Structure 1
Amino acid sequence: MKNNVAYTALAGVLALGAAASTAHSTQVAAEEATVERCAGIVKAGMNDCGTSKHACAGQAKVDNDPEEWILVPTGTCAKITGGKVLTGEASH
């Protein structure tokens, strides 16, 4: 009986974890579909991810570096002077 209760509790915890993971993956996919990477408009230290110059967010050395990018709502980058939409996979 004790084992049965333990197995039931464990199964419940695993099911909740799987549901939370699926919900998070769906949310991330929806967010990525509504944003684009916009390069050339980032202030130093405010970039969202790595480039060929470095591997992490927040490491941009100068303002408006053409390689540095941030995520903006889709359609916004084309409205910003100096903004260039980057295509392809984002490196997160």
Structure 2
Amino acid sequence: MKKTTNIALASAVTGLLALAGTAMTASTAVAAEGKEKCYGVVKAGKNDCATKTSSCAGTSKTDGQKDAFVMVPKGLCDRLVGGDKEAK
């Protein structure tokens, strides 16, 4: 029974590492496509990733939350009211 548990645990850890590698590759690909993070312009619940105060995408609590971002084409963030390229 213990051997089965160790195999299951090793498989789970391997899967998580593979998922993390995929996420890092995807974020690099997005950056290469001419996009940038724009903070402070997201509607509540529409953020793209985790923030200082929430654990995952789609969990921002308020409109215009300063640490929540959305990916936009390069140059667009500068033209949006309240848009900032760095979290506050």
Q: Structure 2: which 5+ runs fail to align?
A: 1-24
- The root-mean-square deviation of aligned C-alpha atoms, in Å, is 1.9
The residue correspondences of 1:3-82 to structure 2 (distance < 5 A) are 29-33=28-32, 34-82=34-82
**TM-score between the two structures when normalised by the length of structure 2:** 0.63
Taking only the aligned residue pairs, the percentage that are identical comes to 39
TM-score, normalised to structure 1, is: 0.60
Q: Residues of 2 paired with 1:40 and 1:30: CA distance?
A: 23
Larger Rg: 1
* Runs of 4+, deviation exceeding 2 Å: 27-31
Q: 1:28 to 1:55 in 2, by over 3 A?
A: closer
CA contact (8 A) 1:41 1:83 kept: yes
What stretches of structure 1 of length at least 5 have no aligned partner? 1-24, 88-92
The total of aligned residue pairs comes to 62
